Amino acid sequence: MKKFICTKCKNIIEVPYGTPKPSSCPYCGASEEFIHRVDPGGRGLGRGRGRRCGMRFLE
């Protein structure tokens, strides 16, 4: 589940992976601009975290 927080009412909104960010808060009705993601998100290693980072490979 992805976690978002509504900065207007401070409630946590959980939606399943694969669904977009909510367009409004289900608790207070605040618009999308007040909803921000709070979990780290993604399953990648991030930039510079790969196995080859910082290593030089000779052919």
**Is the overall model pTM greater than 0.75, yes or no?**
no
- pLDDT given for residue 39 in this prediction: 83
Per-residue pLDDT of the chain (59 residues; tens, 9 = 90+): 999 999 999 999 999 999 999 999 999 999 999 999 998 765 555 555 555 555 554 54
Determine the distance from the C-alpha atom of residue 2 to the mean position of all C-alpha atoms in its chain, rounded to a whole number. 7
Per-domain boundaries in the chain? 2-16+24-37
- pLDDT given for residue 40 in this prediction: 77
Would you say 33 and 17 are in contact if contact means Cβ atoms under 8 Å apart? no
Cα dist from 26 to 22, 44, 46, whole Å: 8, 29, 31
